[in-house]
Structure 1
Amino acid sequence: MATIKDVAKKAGLSVSTVSRYLNNHPYISDDKREKIRKAMVELNYTPSSVATQLRSKKGTMIGILVSRITNPFFSYLVDSIERQVKLHGYNVLIMQTYDDKHAEIKMLEMLKQQVLAGLIMCSVEGDPAVIESYREFGPIVLCNEQIPSTTIPQVYTNQEKATYDAINFLIKKGYRKISYCTGGSLTQGGHGNARTRGFEKAITENQLQMKIDWIFKQVHTIKDGQEIAKKILALPPENRPDAIFTSSDEVASGILQIMMGAGKKIPEDLAIMGFDNQPFTAMLTVPLTTISQPVEALGKEATNLLMAHLDGINYQIDHSELNLELIIRESV
């Protein structure tokens, strides 16, 4: 079955031009219209009814890109964005990438094909330069992602400082063998780098060890946390960390579950710190020390910034509520 890409190739035109033709865009020359019509006839191409319906709603649809909607942080963030978007008369289309940059490109292509009026990216996996190239098709805003080298509008918190302060808090409490978990891959410019910089800075300044057995990457879920705890328990007692900073409350709760199931005391045998301050963290068997994120403010500011770009006006981000806070509980 022929696709819109096949039609574009046959007509010798871009996919976006064919998309505009299918959406009855007025600014397409007669010769291009004829090339597209002939290509569609020759290929026996029939536009997807779903895609056509989506294109017809282009003016009212905003894309939201997240890594995993099952992560409570992203669930609350999407909820905040959607409530704000609807106040402006728009609807949302949500896509999960599962940390796959190819899935990210699919969402960007929907902006290019005029399915979306704008896009809020709450996770970034690909090359910022590639993302920037899609801005000609509609406004893009990064939410909870900080990329210093890009000109893409961004709404973010200072996660490097928050992590640096959190690690120093652990050190002041007497912990010296500190393990680290990240949702990223520890590659330059990758996901979670701001937190990694904060961790490394605190460890280096205090001249502490960073053992490879204490570093865990690309971890996101409760199950990931359970596996981390099993790996820690498999280490000789003298080589185990005495504290662990995790990338999310889900990972932290998985670690907590396995450690307590193994008869370990928290925080005496292992201090555990989460990130996000999800509602369940105060109700765990050992309430979790964590870092609270201003989810509501992130969603509100990202949406306001995107709407300003859609309207062609300036918007000054309100940074007064974009603060991270260490929530101290019994797990440390």
Structure 2
Amino acid sequence: MATIKDVAKLAGLSITTVSRYLNNHPYITEEKRESIQRAMKELDYVPSSVATTLRSNKGKMIGILVSRITNPYFSYLIDAVEKEVKANGYTLLIVQTYDDKGAELKMFEMLKQKLINGIIMCSIECSDMIDIYSKYGPIVVCNQRVESKEAHQITTDQEGITSEAIKYLFSKGKRKIAYCTGGTFSEKGHGTLRNKGFKSAMKELSLEIDSRVIFENIHTVEDGYMVAQNLLRNEKSVWPDAIFTGSDEVASGVINYLMRNGKKVPEDIAVMGFDNQPFSSMTAVPITTVEQPLEALGKEAARMMMSLLNKEVYKVKKDKLVLKIVERESV
């Protein structure tokens, strides 16, 4: 695919001149216009309307990275961020990564090219690239934790609340606990902090971690169906008496499948979600879950970004970022 650099080379002009032509600059001679037009036609070059629009926005755009907007967690988080940045005269560019590093790198490049002023990262695939690109503009990490000297981080205690959730299940008499993570069950990537919380609680409680009931890359209602299906395919001796699903979406899928197949929740298998989405109190068996302060997370991330852009100091309101267990009927 041809680039503006290719057009400039073929036309025998500078990239700046071609850029001015593309942005309808009035002071370009007719001869140069014709040279650019010929080069564009020969190279089949089509200027990026998106890039042109972004550049004309005069430095008033913030990028936000999420894994997928269909997850209600990200929808509510984006809503809170957008209200705050809009009140400060900025617009929000939403990019769904679908856990693809390439999509994340494209947004980093947009920051480098000054198409956006800063990035709020609610999903992270390339944590090792944050420090490299931070020199081009502020990067705020929201509800994730990364090893970075440059990123500004808005965090909640994901590790601590997961440990507390497992101990809560234990207090309810649960000893065989299945576990779902949004990433892998390793030390890096999605869900690392929750993984640590799960492992530490299981060790502290002297409970065995059974690899047969550990599920990776689990996100959706459909994933919940699959998890429950896999559980029931095992011999009954392998069945857990509780499952920490990592999200209310997954929890609702698990509950639905179990009940359709004649199992009782929580009598046969207790189910615990995460996020406290509005629907979690309205499912067939209301979901015991962990409440995340989504509005506060969004506001704090956006306010941190605005402060960085204005070169001001901002003190995060940590008292607004507290997680808590919400008890309902699924446990």
> Which structure 2 segments of 5+ residues have no match?
22-34
Aligned partners of 2:7 and 2:18 also within 8 Å: no
Partner of residue 61, structure 2: 61
Instruction: Find the aligned partners of 1:20 and 1:83 in 2 and give their Cα distance.
Output: 38
**1:111 counterpart residue number:** 111
Matches of residues 28-67 of structure 1 in structure 2 within 5 Å? 47-67=47-67
Give, in angstroms, the shift of residue 72 of structure 1.
0.2
Change (3 A) 1:322 1:40: farther
TM-score normalized by structure 1?
0.88
Contact 2:18/2:36 (8 A) holds in 1: no
Shift of 1:49: 3.3
**How is 1:1-332 mapped onto 2 (pairs within 5 angstroms)?**
1-4=1-4, 6=6, 22=19, 47-126=47-126, 128-332=127-331
Q: Deviations over 1:268-307 (max 9, x none)?
A: 1000000000000101111000000000000000001111
With the length of structure 2 as denominator, give the TM-score of the two structures: 0.88
| Distance of 1:39 and 1:134 partners within structure 2 | 32
CA–CA separation in structure 2 for the residues paired with 1:23 and 1:216: 53
CA displacement at 1:21 relative to structure 2: 8.5
In the TM superposition, residue 52 of structure 1 has moved relative to its aligned partner by: 1.2
2:180 and 2:233 map into 1 onto residues whose CA distance is 17
Q: RMSD between aligned alpha carbons?
A: 2.4
Shift of 1:188: 2.6
Q: How far did 1:137 drift?
A: 1.4
**How many angstroms does 1:207 deviate by?**
1.1
Using the TM superposition, give the Cα deviation of residue 50 of structure 1 relative to its aligned residue in structure 2, in angstroms: 3.0
Determine the C-alpha separation between the residues in 1 that align with 2:8 and 2:230: 52
Corresponding residue of 1:32: none
Q: Given that residues 58 and 115 in structure 1 are in contact (C-alpha distance below 8 angstroms), is that contact kept between their aligned partners in structure 2? A: no
Partners in 2 of 1:23 and 1:173 — Cα distance?
Answer: 68
- Cα distance between partner residues in 2 of 1:19 and 1:266: 66
Q: Distance in 2 between matches of 1:8 and 1:313?
A: 41
In structure 2, distance between residues paired with 1:121 and 1:212? 31
* Letter of the structure 2 residue corresponding to residue 54 of structure 1: L
SS, match of residue 322 in structure 2: coil
4+ residue runs over 2 A deviation = 4-10, 17-24, 38-50, 148-151, 186-189
User: Larger deviation: 45-54 or 64-73?
Assistant: 45-54
Distance 1:285 1:20 in 2: 64
Closer, same or farther: CA 267–46 of 1 in aligned 2, 3 Å: closer
Displacement of 1:18 in angstroms is 6.0
1:76-103 Cα distance to aligned partner (Å, 9 max, x none): 0000000001110111110000011111
Deviations 1:213-271 (A, max 9, x none): 11000010000000000000001111101100011100010000000001111101000
1:19–1:114 CA contact under 8 A, matched in 2 = no
Provide the C-alpha distance between the structure 2 equivalents of 1:200 and 1:56, rounded to a whole number of angstroms: 50
Residues 153-189 of structure 1: CA deviation (Å, up to 9, x unaligned): 0001000000000000101111000000000122332
Contact 1:19/1:113 (<8 A) preserved: no
Distance 2:147 2:16 in 1: 33
The question of whether the paired residues in 1 share the 8 Å contact of 2:231 and 2:239 is answered with yes
User: Match for residue 30 of structure 1?
Assistant: none
| Alpha-carbon distance in 2 for matches of 1:180, 1:40 | 59
1:83–1:21 distance in 2 versus 1, CA, 3 Å: farther
Secondary structure at 1:230 match in 2: helix
Secondary structure in structure 2 of the residue aligned to 1:110 = helix
Q: Offset of 1:109 from its aligned partner? A: 1.1
Partner secondary structure for residue 119 of structure 1: strand
Matched to 1:157, the amino acid is T
Contact map agreement 2:178 2:243 (CA 8 A) in 1 = yes
Q: 1:59 is paired with a residue of what secondary structure?
A: coil
1:181·1:215 contact (CA, 8 Å) conserved in 2? yes
